[in-house]
Amino acid sequence: MIDFTSASISFDMIYPEIALLVAAFVILLFATSRSLSKLAPLLGLIGLTVALITSIGQWGNQASGFFGMITCDNFGAAFKVVFVSISILAVLMAVRYFSVKHISRPELYALLLISTMGMMVMANTTDLIVMFLGLEIMSLPLYVMAGFARRSLESNEAGIKYFIMGAFASGFLLLGITFLFGATGTTDLRNVAADFSYIVGEFPLYVYTGVGLILIGFGFKIGAVPFHSWIPDVYQGAPTPITAFFSVGPKAAGFAVMLRIFLYGFAEMPELSTLFWILAVLTMTVGNVLALRQENVKRMLAYSSIAHAGYVMVALAVGGQESISAAMFYLIGYALFNTGAFAVITLMENRQGGKALVSELAGMARTSPYLSAVLALFMFSLAGFPPTVGFFGKFYLFSAAVKSGFIWLAVIGVMNSFISVYYYFRVIKAAYLDPAEKEFAPVTYAPTLVLVLVITAVGTVGLGFFPETVLDVSRLALFPFK
Amino acid sequence: MEDQILTLVTFFPLLGVLLLLLVPKDRHDSIRAVSLIVAFVTMLLSFLLWGMYDPMGSGMQFEVDVPWISSFGIHYHLGIDGISLLLIVLTTILQVLAILASWKSITTGVKGYFISMLMLQTGMIGVFCALDLFMFYVFWEVMLIPMYFLIGVWGGPRRVYAAIKFVLFTMFGSLLMLVAILYLMFEFQRYSGTFSLDIMQLMQMPITHEVQMYLFGAFALAFAIKVPLWPFHTWLPDAHVQAPTAGSVILAGVLLKMGTYGFIRICLPVFPDASITFVPYICILSLIAIVYGALVAMVQKDVKSLVAFSSVSHMGFVMLGMFALNMQGLQGSVLQMINHGISTGALFLVVGMIYDRRHTRMIADFGGLAKSVPVFSAVFLIVTLSSIGLPFTNGFVGEFLVLLGSFNANAWYGIIAASGVILSACYMLWMFQRVVFGKITKPENENLKDLDWRERIILFPLIILIFWIGIYPSPLLDRVEPSLKAVMSHMAKARTVEYDEENQQLRKFVESDEEPVTITLSRESR
């Protein structure tokens, strides 16, 4: 059992965070020199690798320290590994892209690392205030990164839009925490969970208002409908490797926190299940329907990311250990194939004048058969075709729903992936079926991007065939239930 | 060998895909040769399977059962009975012919085309030997992807529309089937305490009638779209007409059978009560399909779409025979699956050959072909007659058994279905008359080349099969009978039916006050 009041300041709980922070500061120091700043991506990778190893080392270690502010458990450790892996892929994608676009600055990698550190903080605590701090540490660099292409109007728009919306959402979140504090006198979810029935009985208005506001705050971050309106513009405007990072990293972090708050702290609030049922259905349906007619692949993937958030929200509606594991498995899979899809777009955008329109893909299959095969693979996985991890993720997620009797939710879920087949196939159709008006300009394969493609493609197929190992990890990656 | 042969037959084409990846993409002839050899070896393997199969055995043979994803009780479980055996052999034979048929007509993207063909074959054979529902689903979905490309890249003018329509229709049904599979998984866990998606184990599980109805509905929708049963057939004319010749052959010959196979392998044994409740509905839909398909076929101007609609009609026969739920009907149904594969496959091949020469398929553009291409016309005649079901051709045996079975189940079914046979004679012969007989009205038809050696080689085995099954069908029926008996006697274990050994049919009980009242599905005992 966790020691609630542990005052031990044991730094091994936050080694990964420290590693990232140190690496980020070293990068910033190096940034002062033109020659040293070229090492920034390498330093970033080193920092991330150290963080990865230390995060893996935290597996199986269950402790609480810093006066209960930091709590280590398998759930947090597993999510840390996910965040770091996503970040590594993002660094690998960014190197070439930013130099081709002449916006390469070493600060980018520092921001990326700090943002990743924020996610880790979020996953590593049961305290709402620390979660909020983590969220802000994660978000502030993201705002800057979204607007990193300073000369591009769209990128500026993305940065500003993301900042205003994000700041607004943070306000909601903080207000919600305040209300809860008013009702409970604590910001620690463990205390909330322990006395939940009493608190609800005494201060129902405060608790419901607080939970509602927290939900709105995180709803913005993960892009749940009706808080999704910022997503398409920000995703489209931001530099593509950053978009790839946006679409999986903060989303996974948001879900990690939401799973912990709503399935642990407020596990005894039955209304939440119904609420998440509605939100999940709304999110996946709106995301999928709006994605149908997008002409820009990035924008389409933005809407698709809304839809995928909807699928994961099924886990929040269903609740229980099974769905936590399912959500984690799905997020891991999603991180793989979605990053892969963005990596293909990055490759295309590295060419002169590439805008990532669906129509630009015409003739791709003839000139670059392997790249288009990989793109098709990611699209099949996004659409949930076997034998990819996209299919098994859905299998697992909806099986958790069916197991707990949420059969209609599962039916609506699969019907949504039916809708999604159409727009993912549009990409494949453009690459394979459409006649090319002008020749598909060959892409130059940057080695780092090829590495990303290989990792994600192998992961997508490999986890589809042999999900067992990750499945076992996701089953153990739980926070302690009461 | 016993253990590995099914794995080998299923995945040998996939091995061929790996081989093809090594061949440079501009060496078209090597690509064709490699895929032909792979398909041929797969066919020989399937013949070996036929030889090794014990026709007396009623259970599954050559079973392989290895745990795959053990936390969900998912196994790599393959096994075949007589029904699957026939369909696998049909698949491998048609595949060789389809590859031969696309030898000259596919000139762009040759490598991708043959990769798709071979992947498709693995998917198809996999569906026929999977005994785990998860595997079944994986193969079922996997085969959509190569078919999408076959129609979409190498198809006719409206190929893009037809391809996506095909995918969306199939997906719609199969996703609901996925939910049903998940439900079955947990139902089995509640029943036995362990996870399993093994069809053989799921069959043993009692399911309440109401739940069976829902699950049957979900599975049946997926299968009915694939068959396709009226009114889910609308994807079929598009897909058939737009697909390249080999695609149509495989689509009509094998893919449609996956639907009927699903009914016989999953719906009947796992949901026996629901199957019996659904008998009248499915029979009526089948009858509508028979008559409607025939009537629509009659007014087609394009030979290929005529054949496509005739498929709707013929598959109606397959479904009707199956849901007559007696031995004749079921035997006829399985035999008719094979026959339809042979006859319709042959028809599409013949149409493809004439299209290669004239680049049109409109009936009005032909006439008098008997004079210019006599060998072609003779073959066309044999194939047409087999499709109609003339005695001594394969179609006769199957249709006769189906009609016998449906008469036994309900005289009206038999009468209406018999009218479908007459209608099929009308549209086929009328088409044949307009294309082959009469005077040559178009000068283009005068100097057509007759069939060359390659085309004769393609059609020859089919003609042999047409007559062989027409005259001596017992090798097929013998292998199917024990398996069908097993299906029926298993259904009889269900609450509401019993197996009548004497008449080889299922009797239905309606439970009322403990004392079962017998409502038979047969005419004699009424």
Q: Convert the pLDDT of each residue in A378-387 to its tens digit.
A: 999 999 988 8
**Is a pLDDT exceeding 50 seen at residue B511?**
no
CA distance B65 to B6: 11
Question: What's the rounded mean pLDDT across residues A317-336?
Answer: 91
- More confident call, B503 vs B288: B288
A218 touches A257 (CB < 8 A): yes
CA distance A231 to A220: 9
CA distance B405 to B413: 10
Q: What is the pLDDT of residues B354-412, one digit of tens each?
A: 888 888 888 888 888 888 888 888 999 999 999 988 888 888 988 999 999 888 888 88
Distance from CA of B161 to the nearest CA of A (A): 10
Q: Do B167 and A403 touch (CB under 8 A)?
A: no
**Is a pLDDT exceeding 70 seen at residue A2?**
no
Chain B hits for A417, Cβ within 8 Å: 175
CA distance B87 to A66: 67
**Is residue A320 domain-resident?**
yes
With a pLDDT cut of 70, the percent of chain B lying above it is: 93
CA torsion angle for B130, B136, B142, B148 (degrees, to 10)? 110
**Is residue A68 domain-resident?**
no
CA distance A31 to A41: 11
**Is a pLDDT exceeding 50 seen at residue A407?**
yes
Q: What is the pLDDT of residues B289-328, one digit of tens each?
A: 999 999 999 998 888 899 999 999 999 999 999 998 888 8
Phi, psi of A403 (to 5 degrees): -60, -40
pLDDT-derived band at A188, boundaries 50, 70, 90: confident
List the single residue in B112, B163, B182 with the smallest CB-CB distance to A398.
B182
Q: What pLDDT score does A481 carry? A: 56
- Please count the residues of chain B: 526
Q: What pLDDT score does B500 carry? A: 58
Chain A hits for B172, Cβ within 8 Å: 418
Element of type H or E holding B80: strand B74-80
What does pLDDT average to over chain B? 86
Q: Do A411 and B163 touch (CB under 8 A)?
A: no
List the single residue in B71, B167, B175 with the smallest CB-CB distance to A415.
B175
pLDDT-derived band at B522, boundaries 50, 70, 90: very low
pLDDT-derived band at B516, boundaries 50, 70, 90: very low
Chain B hits for A466, Cβ within 8 Å: 69
DSSP of B431-451: HHHHHHSS---SGGGTT----
**Is residue A145 domain-resident?**
no
CA distance A40 to A45: 9
Q: Do B69 and A468 touch (CB under 8 A)?
A: yes
List the single residue in B152, B167, B186 with the smallest CB-CB distance to A402.
B186
List the single residue in B152, B167, B175 with the smallest CB-CB distance to A417.
B175
**Is residue A421 domain-resident?**
yes
Q: What pLDDT score does B509 carry? A: 45
**Best CA proximity match to A233, nearest among A144, A302, A304, A148:** A302
Question: What's the rounded mean pLDDT across residues A191-196?
Answer: 85
List the single residue in B109, B137, B175 with the smallest CB-CB distance to A418.
B175
What does pLDDT average to over chain A? 89
CA distance B168 to B189: 32
Distance from CA of B3 to the nearest CA of A (A): 22
Q: What is the pLDDT of residues B254-294, one digit of tens each?
A: 999 999 999 999 998 888 888 888 888 999 999 999 999 99
Locate all alpha helices (DSSP H) within A38-105, ordered by sequence.
Answer: 40-57, 74-100
Angle between helices A369-383 and A389-403 (to 10 degrees): 0
pTM, two decimal places: 0.91
Q: What pLDDT score does A7 carry? A: 61
Q: Do B178 and A398 touch (CB under 8 A)?
A: yes
Distance from CA of B2 to the nearest CA of A (A): 25
Choose from A292, A364, A377, A411 for mutation: most chain B CBs within 10 A.
Answer: A411
Locate all alpha helices (DSSP H) within B102-158, ordered by sequence.
Answer: 110-129, 133-142, 144-154
Q: What pLDDT score does B521 carry? A: 42
CA torsion angle for B42, B43, B47, B48 (degrees, to 10)? -20
Chain B hits for A429, Cβ within 8 Å: 152, 160, 163-164
**Is a pLDDT exceeding 80 seen at residue A355?**
no
**Is a pLDDT exceeding 80 seen at residue A253?**
yes
- Please count the residues of chain A: 482
Q: What is the pLDDT of residues B46-87, one digit of tens each?
A: 999 898 888 887 788 888 888 888 888 888 999 998 899 999
Q: Do A472 and B149 touch (CB under 8 A)?
A: no
Whether a cis peptide bond, with omega within 30° of 0, leads into A387 is yes
Indicate the residue type of B248. Answer: S
The CB density around residue B241, as the number of other CB atoms within 10 Å, is 25
**Is residue A297 domain-resident?**
yes
**Is a pLDDT exceeding 60 seen at residue B514?**
no
**Is residue A479 domain-resident?**
yes
pLDDT-derived band at A214, boundaries 50, 70, 90: very high
The domain total for chain A is 1
Beta strand B497-500 with B74-80 is unpaired
Choose from B72, B154, B179 for mutation: most chain A CBs within 10 A.
Answer: B179
Tell me, what's the ipTM?
Answer: 0.91
Q: Do A402 and B183 touch (CB under 8 A)?
A: yes
Among chain B residues, CA nearest to A435: B153
Q: What pLDDT score does B344 carry? A: 92
Q: What is the pLDDT of residues A107-132, one digit of tens each?
A: 899 999 999 999 999 998 888 999 99
Chain B hits for A472, Cβ within 8 Å: 71
pLDDT-derived band at A391, boundaries 50, 70, 90: very high
Compute the C-alpha angle B57/B63/B69, nearest 5°.
150
Range of the domain at A340: 273-482
- A-B CB pairs within 8 A amount to 81
pLDDT-derived band at B502, boundaries 50, 70, 90: low
Q: Do B176 and A414 touch (CB under 8 A)?
A: yes
**Is residue A139 domain-resident?**
no
- Residues of chain A whose C-beta is under 8 A from some C-beta in B? 365-366, 369, 380, 385-387, 391, 395, 398-399, 402-403, 407, 410-411, 414-415, 417-418, 421-422, 425, 428-429, 432-434, 466-468, 471-472, 475
CA distance B128 to B91: 10
**Is residue A165 domain-resident?**
no
